[in-house]
Amino acid sequence: MAEALVVRNLSKRFGGLRAVADLSFSVKEGETLALIGPNGAGKSTSFNLITGYHRPDAGSVFAFGRELVGLPPYDICALGLARTFQVGRPFGTMTVLANVMTGALLRNKKLHVARARAREALEFVGLAARENTKAHDLTTIDERRLELARALATEPRLLLLDEVMAGLNPSEMDQAVGLVGQLSKRGLSIVIVEHVMRAITAVAHHIVVLDHGQQIAEGTPNDVLQNEEVIRAYLGTGYAHHTTSPDAQC
Amino acid sequence: MRSSFAIDIFIRVLLFAFIGVAWNLLGGYAKQLSLGHAAYFGLGAYTSTILLIRFGVSPWIGILAGGVVAMLASLPIGALCFRLRGPYFAISTIAVAQVLMLLFLKFRDFAWGAEGTTLPNLGNSPWMMQFSAKAGYYYIALAMLALGLAVTYLIERSWMGYYLVAVGEDESAAEAIGVNAPRIKRNIYMISAFLTAMAGTFYIQYIYFIDPNTAFSFNVSVEAALVSIVGGIGTLWGPVVGAVLLEPTSALLQSWLGSSHGGVQVTVYAVILITVILWRPTGLLGVLTDAYERIVNAFPARTREAPLDG
């Protein structure tokens, strides 16, 4: 399989803080990769480096064979990479439908085409009934749905999801896991940052573990979750004995 | 005399509604709060006046030439000012307008420096945008406002409207879904500058006099923003509502209080503005839409979050 995303030796410092150090990983087309690690490990910074919000000090990012470093976020999105933000960032005064249409307009500037495309995305995330609600009136979970629908409306080939499941209750999380699974089945490549281990093991084909900006482990979910260093740095020593616990999270 | 005063107020209402509409494209929809639109008002005014007096070119051509000059000027000015966000952007636009005013104060040979100049009185010559009756100016102002509203209407109902509001709401989030924020800001700034320059040409033709303090007046920048903010920022009719309220108020206060108690009219005007802005930050159009929605949604009554002051 071809590589959707290749990250090579990516590094970023903020003043004295080493946010990301020499990070390398790759995502095959159609694969779902989870980036995990404690708070401050550099997961969101990695997203910002990949999607053009920060410029790396060193290293390179290739998506579908094109170098992304130096491109602005909107060009990266046009190449087929869509991201969500950790804190939902809806366009508050716009309706839900208008929010998603704004994403859909990337591929077609005709409003009626964008509207149809946006409705499909809203249908998919289960927000179709709220299309006329002003975005700032949404609940947190609906805000997440909107964030996902808006990203999907740009018709990405690679989706970067930044903690879309944080704060969801177990049944909402099952829905979210189901959505990510469906997207993956459609052939979308996905990079997901998440703390909820249950969700990660359900969707990820591959896991990269970060700590202090460095990659400390990589592999299939089973391999990684048995890894001594991962347990010490992130999961906690109790985790090895409770791998069946559904709500283990950091 | 009395009707002349009334029609003068009408013309001012239309003119400032038009300037507000031009400002609103950038300041209202894309939320880039410029306080330097006098720069384009002045460039339009000087371009057409120089063309008229030095080269005998009709202001009808001058008004378009002024628009083009303003549009081109907005490119480097935008490249500079859009590096800054929020209040810093606003301050930088003020500075640009002030710098232009100072430049024109120095252009003594070409642009008459600080003394300014009166326009040649050609009597009633519509081809030179001069009319013996004020009605002529009234119709031009009305036509310009119609043009501004039409441009806004078309933009609002196209992909550009969505992109502008998205940039105004959250520039980073907009870029994440493919909105080229620098480009759309540049483009809307050019359109806004063009329209504002048209107002500058018209105004100088109307008052028959130009000097840097008139053409680059900070008042123009402030009024452009105020009529939009008071009327309803980022809405099609907001600047019109704002101008209808503010311009007659300002003119009447001036004529009632200006002569007897100098300065009082400005204070009263300021108090009115502060009241409106504190009372309804979404502008008067927001009040009307809310009232409308309340009537429409009267049954069942919508529960809203209680305001802090109960």
Distance of residue A216 Cα from the nearest chain B Cα, in angstroms: 29
| pLDDT number for residue B249 | 86
Q: B176–A109: do the CB atoms touch at under 8 Å?
A: no
Phi, psi of A246 (to 5 degrees): -75, -25
Q: What residues in A contact B167, CB-CB < 8 Å?
A: none
Chain B residues in contact with A98 by the CB 8 A cut-off are 162, 165
Q: Do B176 and A153 touch (CB under 8 A)?
A: no
DSSP A192-225: EE-SBHHHHHHH-SEEEEEETTEEEEEE-HHHHH
The model's pTM is 0.89
Nearest by CB: B159 against A90, A105, A150: A105
Tell me: cis bond preceding A246? Omega within 30 of 0 counts: no
Work out whether the CA dihedral A73, A137, A167, A219 comes out positive or negative: negative
pLDDT per position as a tens digit, A144-188: 999 999 999 999 999 999 988 888 888 888 999 999 999 999 999
What pLDDT shows up at residue B38? 97
Pairing between β-strand A66-67 and β-strand A58-63 as defined by DSSP bridges: antiparallel
pLDDT of residue B31: 93
> Pick from B158, B162, B234: which is nearest to A102 by CB?
B162
Which stretches within chain A are classed as H helix?
43-50, 73-78, 96-104, 111-125, 140-152, 170-185, 197-203, 221-226, 228-230
- Cα distance from B67 to chain A (closest Cα, Å)? 27
Which pLDDT does position A238 carry in this prediction? 65
- Cβ contacts of B159 on chain A, cutoff 8 Å: 105, 109-111, 114
Instruction: State the residue for tokens 């998603």.
Output: A100
Determine the pLDDT at residue A119.
97
Residue B293 has what pLDDT? 77
Q: For residue B182, list chain A residues with Cβ-Cβ distance below 8 A.
A: 72
Tell me the mean pLDDT in the region A124-136.
94
Within 10 angstroms of residue B154's Cβ, the number of other Cβ atoms is 11
A102, A115, A144, A152: best to mutate for the B interface, most B CBs within 10 A: A102
Torsion of CA A75, A81, A85, A88, to 10 degrees: 90
DSSP state of B310: -
Its ipTM equals 0.90
Tell me the HSE value of A28 on the side-chain side, using a 13 A CA sphere. Answer: 7
**Which tokens go with B5?**
């005063």
Contacts for A16 with CB less than 8 Å, ≥ 6 apart: none
- pLDDT grade for A6, boundaries at 50, 70 and 90: very high
Q: Which pLDDT value is given to residue A96?
A: 97
DSSP code of residue B30: S
How far A239 CA lies from chain B's nearest CA (Å)? Answer: 36
B181 to A98: CB separation less than 8 angstroms, yes or no = no
pLDDT above 70 coverage of chain A, percent = 94
**Best mutation target, B162, B170, B289, B290, to test chain A (most A CBs within 10 A):** B162
Among B165, B170, B177, whose Cβ lies nearest the Cβ of A77?
A: B177
Handedness of CA A97, A100, A103, A108 (dihedral sign): negative
Asked if residue A20 has pLDDT above 60, the reply is yes
Residue type present at position A210: L
Render pLDDT for B196-229 as a digit per residue (tens, 0 to 9). 999 999 999 999 999 999 999 999 999 999 999 8
Given this model, what pLDDT does residue B301 score? 46
pLDDT above 60 for A45: yes
Place of tokens 């946010």: A19
- Per-residue pLDDT, averaged over A206-218, amounts to 90
Which residue has better confidence, A189 or B123? A189
Contact (CB<8Å) A153/B179: no
The answer to whether the CB of B192 falls within 8 A of the CB of B26 is yes
Residues in chain B: 310
Task: Report the alpha-carbon distance of residue B154 to residue B299 in Å, rounded.
Answer: 34
Residue in this structure with the two tokens 């490990």, named with its chain if needed = A41
Q: How do the residues of chain A divide into helix, strand and coil, expressed in percent and rounded to 5? A: 40, 25, 35
Nearest to A102 among B157, B158, B166 (CB): B166
Residue A148 tokens read as: 């996902």
For residue A200, the one-letter residue type is I
Hey, are the CB atoms on B165 and A94 less than 8 Å from each other? yes
Q: Cβ separation of B169 and A98 shorter than 8 Å? A: no
- Return d(Cα A214, Cα A41) in angstroms, integer: 8
pLDDT at residue B306, as a whole number: 42
Q: Which of B157, B169, B177 sits opposite A94 (nearest CB)?
A: B169
Residues of chain B in contact with residue A78, where contact means CB-CB under 8 angstroms, are 178
Any alpha helices (H) in A51-126, and if so which ranges? Answer: 73-78, 96-104, 111-125
A71: closest CA among B270, B180, B136, B161? B180
User: Would you tell me the crossing angle of helices B218-231 and B2-24 to the nearest 10 degrees?
Assistant: 80
Instruction: Give yes or no for a contact between B145 and B17, defined as CB atoms under 8 angstroms apart.
Output: yes
Q: Which residues of B touch A (CB under 8 A)?
A: 157-159, 162-163, 165-166, 169-170, 172-182, 234
Low-confidence ranges of chain B (pLDDT < 70): 1-2, 262, 281, 298-310
What confidence score (pLDDT) does residue B302 get? Answer: 45
Q: Please say if the pLDDT value at position A137 is more than 70.
A: yes
Cα separation, A37 vs A212, whole angstroms: 9
Tens digits of per-residue pLDDT, A46-98? 999 999 999 999 999 999 989 999 999 999 999 999 999 988 899 999 999 99
**Higher confidence at residue A229 or residue B219?**
B219
CB contact under 8 A, A98 and B162: yes
Mean pLDDT of A4-31: 92
Average pLDDT over chain A reads 90
Give the ranges where B124-263 is alpha helix by DSSP (H).
134-156, 159-169, 171-176, 181-207, 212-215, 218-231, 238-257
Q: Which residues of A touch B (CB under 8 A)?
A: 51, 53, 72-75, 77-78, 82-83, 85, 89-94, 98, 101-103, 105-106, 109-111, 114, 150-151, 153-154
